[in-house]
Amino acid sequence: MMSHGLESVVGALVADGKGILAADETVPTLTRRFDALGIQSTEQSRRAYREMLVTSPGAAEFISGVIMFDETIRQESSRGTPLAQVEAGLGILPGIKVDTGAKRLAGCPGETITEGLDGLRDRLTEYRAMGARFAKWRAVIHVTEVLPSSACVRANAHALARYAALCQEQEFVPIVEPEVLMDGSHTIERCEDVTGVVLHEVFDALFEQGVALEEMLLKPNMVLPGKDCTRQASVEEVATATLRCLRRHVPAAVPGIVFLSGGQNARLATAHLNAINRLPGPKPWKVSFSYGRALQDPALEAWHGRDENLADGQRALYWRASSNGAASIGKYTDEMEAASPSADDPHHHDWRDD
């Protein structure tokens, strides 16, 4: 495996007490989330929302990087500065989602393959010139009694590895995101089995494509029961199963694991991360967050598309970021949560980027 000089960027992304803000929803996905709150989705309202998030006072203490969507990286702040430059000025690394979505996988009913490899080298060159330093690609794995198929798992692992190799060649830190969905009624045990198989395939493919494990981040799901499973799991159970699965399948050379939130409510996503970091025993990687909904939902709700609520939206983001920053070093407490302005359960909406 070749080194690409990316260790300092990886190190900054998982610096102690910091994690990543995923704000890379596609236009249709963000529009659905705005619609649910009666907010009009226009290029301007999406820009204003993203600017509000990234400029939340103090958030950079806990947010090391922001993942943007193509539309956002081309947008400017209200003062006319490109948003990527605004982020860099605040000490936040600009990142970019480079997959083009999960599409139906031929021959595998009910399953998807994430696309976007064609032309990726050229797109990376362009994003690099705009200031992006890291990238994200999300593979989606559906769980039923019979899914996922090995054809789907292997095809997605292969695409993730090809993406990661191209990123490193172009001096981007790849975030490798294989998401086992929490949709469905499967048990936590089944989620653990499927997540293990998926991680095994992903690291096999990364090895085969020559990806430098020291210069990437893994963005996995936590091990959780399906949303409709009749037996939900305690915070301790989730933490134990998740850490066991990661220890079995993620090489120690990987510098950081940054979880997706996957539809968990904001408080639980924080509690789970904290519990994982507090478990005893070896954790050879940094364990932090790269949350979308669990960081944004309270802020979106507080903002509600209105200029006069901007400071409330920013406060809500700051609180969730600071809670997750604490959880990333196992120092989140109930008192911190009680002090949060968004202590009520936020709405949460499905990601479903496709």
Min dist. Cβ of residue 5 to ligand 13P (A)? 26
Here's the x/- map for ligand 13P, 53-82, by CB under 6 A: it reads as ------------------------------
Min dist. Cβ of residue 314 to ligand 13P (A)? 19
Does position 127 interact with ligand 13P (CB under 6 A)? The reply is no
Min dist. Cβ of residue 308 to ligand 13P (A)? 27
Shortest Cβ contact with ligand 13P: which residue?
Answer: 292
Let me know if 103 is a catalytic residue: no
Dist CA 3 CA 84 (whole Å): 26
Let me know if 219 is a catalytic residue: yes
Q: Which of 177, 179, 201, 301 is catalytic?
A: 177
Here's the x/- map for ligand 13P, 236-275, by CB under 6 A: it reads as ------------------------xxx-------------
Here's the x/- map for ligand 13P, 315-354, by CB under 6 A: it reads as ------------------------------------x---
Asked if residues 273 and 287 have their Cβ atoms less than 8 Å apart, the reply is yes
Min dist. Cβ of residue 295 to ligand 13P (A)? 7
Give bridge partners of residue 311 from the DSSP assignment. Answer: none
Catalytic residue set = 177, 219
